[in-house]
Amino acid sequence: MSRSTIPLSPGDEIGVLGGGQLGRMLAFATRRMGYRIASWVGGPNSGPADVCDWMIEETFDSASGLELFLGKVKSATVEFENIPSVLLEKIEERIPLLPGAYAIEVCQHREREKRFLEKHGLPHADFAVVENAEDLRRVLSTLPGSGGILKTAEFGYDGKGQMSVHRDSDAEAVWANFSTSRAVLEERISLAAELSVLVVRDSSGRSLTYDPAENIHRDHILDVSIVPARLDPRISEDARAIALEVAERLDYKGILAVEFFLATDGRLLVNEMAPRPHNSGHHTIDACETSQFEQQLRVLCGLTPGSTRLHSPTVMLNLLGDVWEDAEGKPDWTSVIALPGSHLHLYGKRQARRGRKMGHVTFTASDQSEALDRMRHARELLKIPGIDLRLPGE
């Protein structure tokens, strides 16, 4: 369990494990509120490099890096869940780690995540653990006609570490090419929609949720988040309630993202959890009273969470490296920024490549249809392929 956090004051130091854009945006919130931040990034060329107060580039198994980190900060968090468990536990022994090592370890490993959901009776897709080709052959024979998705137990995100399989798949060939020692085979869900709920929970157990986001993916990467979700209000309320229960069962402290599948048969299923700020929560910077990054900082500093109220309907559009390549390195930002209610966020990454998250644009408006129209216009300006925006069930 994490040690208790006493209220920290502006000028005090917080620590972040990880070196991506989430750490960069957390650093902006930290600096704005007068705190200082040390980012242990585990290598060179980090996103927070030009924003944090101190940066530690030693690898995450470095004893000297650990002592340097602990010597600078009074509480710590992660912006990336795949931090070695042994490091998380060493940090938690010395200073408050929010969320705690247990919550992060559950969320960083698909098998532990599924076992957690199963143990607590939380809705999830049917699954089986696979350790070898023989296991896979046996489980494949039980799949329905729609097949399943084989996923690595660790280090999977944005569709990586996943493979579609069917009853007649060659188990030996699939396993030989999957490059893992342990995997989870999930039923394939016929999707009506995907959504996510952000929960902020402080050290006293006080919890708040943001409005559920309706998420549309392209090539397994989040493309657009629409808030509030265009779903039956009862579904949104059920998602909030489940997300709050997940946070309570994890004894969670900080920002938690709970991602859901809404199946065509009406089931609302937890897909996965992210123990950190989340891509589908970037709209909170421009469209909510308190951003997800400020909430994470508040919990780290022992402060009361802020309001999660959505003050404007909003649509968030992810900007991938494809935009730079298709525009020969010079996207038309001037025209995008000229759109009413547009808020451009670029992550300062030096190299653009296809599928890499380089930034996002948030569109706020007086009503959702306006925000969607502006997002469509921006797609045309940036030559991003169109997507189906029909309401779920249409």
CATH for 141: 3.30.1490.20
**What is the predicted pLDDT for the residue at 382?**
96
Q: 106 by DSSP, 3-state: which?
A: helix
Please name the residue that has the structure tokens 């569109």. 363
pLDDT band for position 302 (cuts 50, 70, 90): very high
- With CA atoms as reference, report the closest residue to 23 among 62, 2, 1, 54: 54
**What CATH code is carried by the domain that includes residue 80?**
3.40.50.20
- With CA atoms as reference, report the closest residue to 310 among 367, 361, 390: 367
Same domain, 201 and 335: yes
Residues in the chain: 394
Is residue 2 over pLDDT 50?
no
Same domain, 260 and 332: yes
**What is the predicted pLDDT for the residue at 394?**
66
Task: Tokens for 221, please give them.
Answer: 């990467």
Residue 158: inside a domain, yes or no?
yes
Same domain, 226 and 317: yes
Give the contacts of 107 (CB within 8 A, at least 6 positions apart).
Answer: 81, 113, 272, 273, 274, 275
Q: Express as a percent the part of the chain with pLDDT over 90.
A: 86
Radius of gyration of the chain (CA): 21
Same domain, 68 and 154: no
Please give the torsion angle defined by the CA atoms of residues 365, 368, 372 and 373, in that order, rounded to the nearest 10 degrees: -70
Same domain, 19 and 33: yes
Same domain, 295 and 370: yes
Q: What share of the chain is helix, strand, coil (3-state, %, to 5)?
A: 30, 25, 40
- Rounded to whole angstroms, the Cα distance separating 124 from 272 reads 9
Is the preceding omega at residue 385 within 30 degrees of 0, hence cis?
Answer: no
- The pLDDT mean for the chain works out to 94
pLDDT band for position 48 (cuts 50, 70, 90): confident
Phi (first) and psi of residue 75, to 5 degrees: -155, 165
Same domain, 222 and 358: yes
- With CA atoms as reference, report the closest residue to 275 among 105, 32, 140: 105
User: Which domain covers residue 95, as residue numbers?
Assistant: 13-107
Report pLDDT digits (tens) over 132-148.
999 999 999 988 888 89
Alpha helices for the chain (secondary structure H): 21-32, 63-72, 85-94, 101-107, 110-119, 133-140, 171-178, 233-249, 284-287, 292-300, 321-326, 333-337, 368-382
Task: Tokens for 378, please give them.
Answer: 């921006």
Residue 86: inside a domain, yes or no?
yes
**What is the predicted pLDDT for the residue at 159?**
55
Is the preceding omega at residue 228 within 30 degrees of 0, hence cis?
Answer: yes
pLDDT band for position 3 (cuts 50, 70, 90): low
Tell me the pairing of strands 221-227 and 314-320: antiparallel
- With CA atoms as reference, report the closest residue to 216 among 206, 226, 204: 226
- Domain tally for the chain? 3
This prediction's pTM: 0.95
pLDDT band for position 47 (cuts 50, 70, 90): confident
Residue 116: inside a domain, yes or no?
no
Same domain, 150 and 203: no
Crossing angle for the helix pair 292-300 and 21-32, to the nearest 10 degrees = 70
**What is the predicted pLDDT for the residue at 158?**
55
**What is the predicted pLDDT for the residue at 204?**
95
Is residue 179 over pLDDT 90?
no
- Average pLDDT value for residue range 334-344: 98
Report pLDDT digits (tens) over 202-249.
999 999 999 999 999 998 899 999 999 999 999 999 999 999 999 999
**What is the predicted pLDDT for the residue at 144?**
85
**What is the predicted pLDDT for the residue at 181?**
84
Question: Which DSSP string corresponds to 266-309?
Answer: S-EEEEEEESS--GGGTTHHHHBSS-HHHHHHHHHTTPPP----
**Choice among 12-16, 129-133, 388-392 with the minimum mean pLDDT:** 388-392
**What is the predicted pLDDT for the residue at 393?**
63
**Choice among 173-187, 256-270, 284-298 with the minimum mean pLDDT:** 173-187
Residue 119: inside a domain, yes or no?
no
Q: What is the DSSP letter of 97?
A: B
Q: What number of other Cβ atoms are within 10 A of residue 269's Cβ?
A: 20
Is residue 21 over pLDDT 60?
yes
Report pLDDT digits (tens) over 33-46.
999 999 999 988 77
Q: What is the DSSP letter of 356?
A: -
Q: 388 by DSSP, 3-state: which?
A: coil
